Amino acid sequence: MAAITEGGAAIALDGAQKTRRHLTKARIRWVVVALILMFGAVAGRLIQLGLVVQDTTIEGQTRDLITATRPALLDRNGLELAVDIRVPSLFAEPRRIIDVNEAASAIHSVLPDLNEDWLRGRLTGDKGFVWVKRELTPEIEDKIMQLGIPGLDFVTESKRFYPGGNEASHILGAVNIDNQGIAGIEKSMDNDSVALLQSLGLARGNELAPVNLSVDLRVQHVMHDVLTDALTRYQAVAAAGVMMDIHTGEIVGLVSLPDFDPNNPVTALQKDSFNRITAGIYELGSSMKSVTIAGALDSGKVRITDSFDARFGVRFGRFTIDDFHGKHRILTLPEVYKYSSNVGAIHIMQAMGKDTFRAFLTRLGFDKTVPLELPEKRNPVVPAKFSEIVAATAAFGHGLSVSPMHMLRAMAAFANDGYMVTPTLYRRSLEDARKTYEQVVSEKTSQEMRYLMRLNALEGSGSRMNKFALGYRTGGKTGTAEKVVNGRYTTGANFNVFASAFPLDNPRYAMVVIVDSPRAENAQSGTTAGWNAGEATGRIIQRVAPMLGISPDFNPMLDDELVPVELR
């Protein structure tokens, strides 16, 4: 009986062990199945994620474009004109925002200028990325990060900064919030061909080398300072100036007032803050007599020793053109220039011939825009054909409208032995500049024009300019044009110009200064160009000439040597 009992217990024990083994094996199988399913799900998700195209844009802009930098812009001496600084910008991923109301309220607590309703609208939806606020400070970035809100993040992008503020605004232009050029040289660089950008080290997305412009920041500062003073001193509407190296075509200074702050581009939209040097066209008054006389001398039909009858006005139908302060006598050609005789200029033009005169304007490029890197330009207004009366008024600067850049190029050619050079805002060697040369007047004509310019500074309407620029052998021509208001010339509202070159014994620079609607500085002053545009020119030269390596020299022999042999 006991044996039977022991055998039954053994059988029962063995059965229990088998049951446990089966149960363990079953459990292992279920664990294996669970692991296979789990790893399969993970693998499937990884495959799914690998097939998904990630959204690398923020509101349609790629991250690379947003974070791209622009090359630093330097003046010709390596001083910074425009640089990029790195700033944090806040964006959101609405599909990851858990509580929109809470997120909007928290962001508003740090950025109170953002409307909460607007924030809720931005943070609602299933978009991948939306901008919340761009160009923030690191301090704001830290405060937002401390909020600990999922779905908010920052991208570091470039912001353009102009250390000089508005001092060179019309040269540099500005960029928008996406760091894309919208005006000036900034826009020009974005519009230029890839080959040119690469040659200047400007290819976007690469390591960008700084770009040296032709501008001399010292000259730029002086011009801006003097012209700002002119606005106040003469209670003028506007003032502007541009200076160019007559051999290389490099623009070393360009100012137009009113201007704007490129660090706040919206100020560029203010009334009258346009570039008067390139985008303004005007009747330049008697400064055009330099063009008329240069063309006549170069035609061979007029000589420096000729005289012209200025005793009486020139009549065209019902109209008679006379001189502002006429001498009413026979004038030599140099006297026509220094006394700024309208009558004499008309007779000189007539001796040359109106068609020859019109062709000379084409040779100087007066009937097309001046090639310069700035996109702000306006087409000149020059009649295709000249009638007798139109040619007569054009001879002393009325009836055609050109930009100050047109006059600058012409004055440079009249001073540099007759070569028209293409202007530029980039550094350029003399060798490269000569490839752009076009001879528009002879060397002899250029020599005669240098004499006339200097004569006008010593004895004519440029004498007030010369008092400020003594020793720097400068010269040029004034232009006082009555402004056109409602289609009619208005007495008392002048547009004044002084076009000059210096030092005339060894010319290096040409300059044009304009003052719009000046008033007399005091009871003893006048409102014609010599009193304002001329004086401003003298003040600029007085200060910049030493910076440019030009030494003062008061030796009268330097002026004597400018006199043509025929007049000695």
**Which CATH class name applies to 85-160?**
alpha beta
Q: What is the pLDDT of residues 558-567, one digit of tens each?
A: 999 999 999 9
Average pLDDT of every residue of the chain: 88
Q: What is the pLDDT of residues 380-429, one digit of tens each?
A: 999 999 999 999 999 999 999 999 999 999 999 999 999 999 999 999 99
pLDDT for residue 58 is more than 80: no
* Rounded Cα gap, residues 558 and 505, in angstroms: 6
Q: With beta carbons less than 8 A apart as the criterion, state whether 61 and 178 touch.
A: yes
Q: Write out the H or E segment, with its range, that includes residue 120.
A: helix 116-123
Pairing between β-strand 509-516 and β-strand 488-502 as defined by DSSP bridges: antiparallel
Q: Name the pLDDT band for 17 (thresholds 50, 70, 90).
A: low
pLDDT for residue 353 is more than 70: yes
Q: Is 200 exposed, middle or buried (0-12, 13-18, 19+ CB in 10 A)?
A: middle
Q: Write out the H or E segment, with its range, that includes residue 244.
A: strand 238-245
**160 or 46: which carries more pLDDT confidence?**
160
- Residue 387 Rama label (left phi>0; alpha psi -120 to 50; beta): beta
Q: Name the pLDDT band for 14 (thresholds 50, 70, 90).
A: low
Mean pLDDT of 256-263: 95
Q: What is the pLDDT of residues 313-322, one digit of tens each?
A: 999 888 889 8
So what's the pLDDT on residue 179?
A: 83
Please provide the DSSP assignment of 531-544 as one string: GTHHHHHHHHHHHH
Annotated domain spans of the chain? 85-160, 220-567
* Rounded Cα gap, residues 427 and 242, in angstroms: 16
So what's the pLDDT on residue 157?
A: 81
Q: With beta carbons less than 8 A apart as the criterion, state whether 335 and 344 touch.
A: yes
pLDDT for residue 176 is more than 70: yes
pLDDT for residue 297 is more than 50: yes
Instruction: Give the active site residue among 158, 169, 188, 286.
Output: 286
286 is catalytic: yes
Q: Is 374 exposed, middle or buried (0-12, 13-18, 19+ CB in 10 A)?
A: buried
pLDDT for residue 159 is more than 80: yes
**179 or 251: which carries more pLDDT confidence?**
251
**2 or 283: which carries more pLDDT confidence?**
283
Q: What is the pLDDT of residues 434-485, one digit of tens each?
A: 999 999 999 999 999 999 999 999 999 999 999 999 999 999 999 999 887 7
Pairing between β-strand 238-245 and β-strand 509-516 as defined by DSSP bridges: antiparallel
91 SS3 class: strand
Q: Write out the H or E segment, with its range, that includes residue 298.
A: helix 288-299
Pairing between β-strand 211-212 and β-strand 73-74 as defined by DSSP bridges: parallel
- Residue 314 has, within 13 A of its CA and on its CB side, a CA count of 22
Q: Is 21 exposed, middle or buried (0-12, 13-18, 19+ CB in 10 A)?
A: exposed
**Which CATH class name applies to 220-567?**
alpha beta
So what's the pLDDT on residue 61?
A: 58
